[in-house]
Chain A
């Protein structure tokens, strides 16, 4: 369906990635944000808190990130599209309630404008070292979805996609920006509202007597209702059955938690999203995401000038991982090169999927800046040998 025009600031703007992300959320229909502002994500909530009064949205500056995530999980059950915004240290504090959101199958979006870590790290400088945390940061087994934009324009476009995926699969979606994209100002084109497709939460049409909150078959997503609409329902972080009631047994764990994993894994083909360029006949395929993808394209141009056949795969959805595609490519290319602003995270997934059929080379960067294209070039040249 088309989005509510109230949140759409149609036009051509010169925005940084944080503002663009905020505008994208409002364009997607987000009307509740709870957060504890933290550099370099503060401008997202600054933008939203200034604009929300014009469209009936609610922003709450919370006491901390634990409260922020709890408020978002709770508010989502009123049928409102919800988001919280943070950076590394706050992301760590949100983990427990992100797990609660996953367990309760709560649609919401968590924006992490990544900075250098660990701990307080580099508050004003970029990093991509939370990308594994986005996948595994909370305890227990579950699968979530993570996206990574490479520009302010994509911060706008993809956060809408993040909301859509969260509604479709009833999961917290991790929107993994980085400081460089967040604080980079570029042209951002916001289309008219009638061109913005959004997924509206499908509420159950069952009667209160028939409705069960966790009733599903196979890879189906259970139907949701709104708290306050007259349904008696129960939801909990404890392992629960179809009724949402706690049942402490291995059987119920299998029913409940396998579903949390399978609803993403079995639908991965529909969720996975990447760009590819000149993969056919390539000797080397470079895989990158976020800001690193842009720097990588420079290195690829340089390598092609030197006559190397290089293909490029840009991860737009990082989790679930495009495992199937990388397995297909493995063996057909000499090597994969994976630059990222951390000491090696996504590269491990590439290596796993390459399964020894192609070499996998990481190009680490500790954070605080982006790679020099020459460093990536060197890795490409090495992998092409």
Chain B
């Protein structure tokens, strides 16, 4: 694969940076390619917007920042509003179904997962980001399920591996059931963004 750019965004406290770290670890360390992660690092505290950017490539990554992401993972409506315009016209949008109401452009693919609800059903909302990572792995296929699972295992606090792997599998399974081969394809029809024209830039 040539270079692909990923932005992951959400509220501070949702585990945005950790999920980016897991994706980068899986791609760079476990799959043996290159992944450069940059955090949007402001004076943000828990609850405000938080974002991380990844550039992944089979070759060395030179420019560390992203410009037009190929993949946009969004866990909050605030994050969606802030960054939705930069997603490539044929990019992939992955979103928290209960928190974000996206209006993807024609040509953009959109995949939603109720990651918070799934995490709640596992007993701990805090693993919402790992559900998202599982779902992300199914949608994008950028690394194998095993490589990503290993990255989850290596990145979460010791003692929580089992719960986190369960969360990962739940996200993965949701993708397979809802969008995967054999599952009902419920991919939302991409809609032209009605109010695209005249909309104020972020």
CA distance A353 to B125 in the complex (A): 61
Does A291 contact B25, Cβ atoms closer than 8 Å?
no
* A interface footprint on B30-52 (CB within 8 Å = 1, 0 otherwise): 00001111110111000000000
Q: Which of B21, B25, B43 contacts A124 (CB 8 A)?
A: B43
CB distance from A173 to the nearest CB of B (A): 26
- Provide the bound-state CA to CA distance between A373 and B64, in Å: 11
A352 within 8 A of B: no
Q: Are B35 and A186 in contact (CB under 8 A)?
A: yes
Q: Is the CB of A14 within 8 A of B28?
A: yes
Binary B-proximity of A177-220 (CB < 8 A = 1, otherwise 0): 00010011111000000000000000000000000000000000
The 8 Å CB contact of B37, one of A40, A124, A185, is: A185
* Residue among B21, B25, B34, B62 making CB contact with A297, cutoff 8 Å: B62
Secondary structure of the B contact surface, majority rule: mixed
* A14 / chain B contacts, CB cutoff of 8 Å: 21, 24-25, 28-29, 35
B166: shortest Cβ distance to chain A, in Å? 23
Q: A124-B41, A185-B37 are in contact. Are A294 and B28 (CB under 8 A)?
A: no
Query: What per-residue 1/0 map shows which CB atoms of A276-318 lie under 8 Å from chain B?
Result: 0000000000000001001101100000000000000000000
Q: Are B25 and A294 in contact (CB under 8 A)?
A: no
Quick check: is A13 within 8 A (CB to CB) of the other chain? yes
Chain A residues, Cβ within 8 Å of B35: 14, 186-187
Verify A187–B65 contact, CB threshold 8 A.
Answer: no
- Min Cβ gap B29→A in Å is 5
Q: Is the CB of A185 within 8 A of B21?
A: yes
Chain B, Cβ-Cβ closest to A180 = B64
Interface residues contributed by chain A, number (CB under 8 Å)? 21
How many Å lie between the Cα of A369 and that of B35 in the bound state?
A: 19
Across the interface, which residues of B come within 8 angstroms of A125, CB to CB? Answer: 41
In the complex, are the beta carbons of A295 and B63 less than 8 A apart? yes
Measured in the bound complex, the distance between the Cα atoms of B21 and A183 in whole Å is 12
Distance in Å from the Cβ of B112 to the closest Cβ of chain A?
28
Tell me if B29 and A187 are in contact (CB < 8 A).
yes
Residue pair B29, A373 in contact (C-beta under 8 Å): no
Contacts of A183 in B (CB 8 A): 38-39, 41
Q: A14-B24, A185-B36, A186-B35 are in contact. Are A40 and B41 (CB under 8 A)?
A: yes
Minimum CB–CB distance for A310 against chain B, Å: 15
The 0/1 profile, CB within 8 Å of B marked 1, for residues 357-385 of chain A is 00000000000011001000000000000
Q: How far is the CA of A14 from the CA of B37 in the complex (A)?
A: 10
Q: Tell me the nearest residue of chain B to A293, going by C-beta.
A: B62
The smallest beta-carbon distance between A191 and chain B, in angstroms, is 15
Give Cα distance in the complex from A184 to B64, angstroms: 8
Write the residues of chain B forming the contact surface with A, with a CB cutoff of 8 angstroms. 21, 24-25, 28-29, 34-39, 41-43, 61-65
- By a beta-carbon cutoff of 8 Å, the part of chain A in contact with chain B is 12-14, 16, 40, 124-125, 180, 183-187, 291, 294-295, 297-298, 369-370, 373
For this complex, 5 residue pairs linking A to B, each with C-beta atoms less than 8 Å apart, are A124-B43, A187-B34, A187-B35, A298-B63, A370-B64
